[in-house]
Amino acid sequence: MKHKIILFAASLFAAASMISCSDYLDKQPLDGVNSATYWTTRKNVEKGLTGVYASFRVSTFSGLPGGAPCVDQEVWSDNAISGSNHKDIMQGGINPSTGGVINDMWVNCYKGIAAANYFLEHFEEASDLFTEEEMNKMRAEVLFIRTYFYNELVVHYGDVPLMLHTAKLGDGYDSMPRTPRTEVVEQMMEDIDYAIKWLPDVAYTDGHAVQGSAIMLKCRILLNDHKYAEAAKLAGDYIHSGVCPFSLSDDYAGIFCGRSQINNPEIMFSIQFAAPDDYHSLDQMVASRMNVYPSFNLREAYEDGDPRIKMTMFERGDPWINNDKTGRFEEDGNRAEGQIPFTGMAFKKYVDTTVFAPNGATQSEQHFVKMRFADLLLMYAEAMFESGHGSDPKALKALNDVRQRPGVEMPAKSELTREIIRNERRVELAFEGIRFYDIIRWDIAKDVIPTVQYNKGGNMRKFDGNLWPVPQSQMDIMRDYWQQNAPWN
- Confidence check: pLDDT of 15 > 60: no
Q: Which amino acid is at 481?
A: Y
The region of weakest confidence among 33-37, 186-190, 200-204, 446-450 is 33-37
Q: Cis (ω within 30 of 0) for the bond into 393? A: no
Closest CA to 217 of 158, 273, 140, 156: 140
- Confidence check: pLDDT of 7 > 80: no
CATH number for the domain that contains residue 4? 1.25.40
Query: Is 150 within the bounds of a domain?
Result: yes
Query: Is 65 within the bounds of a domain?
Result: yes
Query: Measured between alpha carbons, how far is residue 450 from residues 444, 454, 462 in Å?
Result: 11, 10, 5
Decide which of 8 and 108 is more confident.
108
Mean model confidence pLDDT for the chain: 92
Burial class (CB in 10 A: 0-12, 13-18, 19+), 360: exposed
Residue 69 · residue 436 · CB < 8 Å: no
User: For residue range 331-364, what is the model confidence (pLDDT) as tens digits?
Assistant: 999 999 999 999 999 999 999 999 999 999 999 9
Rg from Cα positions in the chain: 22
Q: What's the pLDDT score for residue 83?
A: 82
Residue 214 · residue 144 · CB < 8 Å: yes
Query: Is 105 within the bounds of a domain?
Result: yes
- Confidence check: pLDDT of 28 > 80: no
Query: Measured between alpha carbons, how far is residue 293 from residues 9, 247, 272, 357 in Å?
Result: 32, 29, 24, 17
Q: What's the pLDDT score for residue 30?
A: 41
- Confidence check: pLDDT of 247 > 80: yes
Report how far residue 10's alpha carbon sits from residue 107's, in angstroms, rounded to the nearest whole number: 6
Q: What's the pLDDT score for residue 5?
A: 30
User: For residue range 417-445, what is the model confidence (pLDDT) as tens digits?
Assistant: 999 999 999 999 999 999 999 999 999 99
Report how far residue 18's alpha carbon sits from residue 49's, in angstroms, rounded to the nearest whole number: 15
User: For residue range 175-208, what is the model confidence (pLDDT) as tens digits?
Assistant: 889 999 999 999 999 999 999 999 999 999 999 9
Burial class (CB in 10 A: 0-12, 13-18, 19+), 476: exposed
Q: What's the pLDDT score for residue 35?
A: 67
Query: Is 131 within the bounds of a domain?
Result: yes
- SS3 assignment, position 376: helix
Region 317-335 average pLDDT: 97
Element (H, E) at 384: helix 373-384
- Confidence check: pLDDT of 4 > 60: no
Q: What's the pLDDT score for residue 479?
A: 83
Q: What percentage of the chain has pLDDT greater than the value 90?
A: 88
Phi, psi dihedral angles at 24 (to 5 degrees): -75, -10
Residue 19's pLDDT band, with cuts at 50, 70 and 90, is very low
Query: Is 152 within the bounds of a domain?
Result: yes
Residue 152 domain boundaries: 1-74+89-181+457-482
Region 468-486 average pLDDT: 93
- Confidence check: pLDDT of 20 > 60: no
Report how far residue 82's alpha carbon sits from residue 74's, in angstroms, rounded to the nearest whole number: 9
CA angle 213, 215, 219 (to 5 degrees): 120
Q: What's the pLDDT score for residue 175?
A: 82
Query: Is 250 within the bounds of a domain?
Result: no
When divided into structural domains, the chain yields a total of: 1
Query: Is 169 within the bounds of a domain?
Result: yes
Query: Is 232 within the bounds of a domain?
Result: no
Residue 168's pLDDT band, with cuts at 50, 70 and 90, is confident
Q: What percentage of the chain has pLDDT greater than the value 70?
A: 93
Q: What's the pLDDT score for residue 277?
A: 92
Region 316-323 average pLDDT: 97
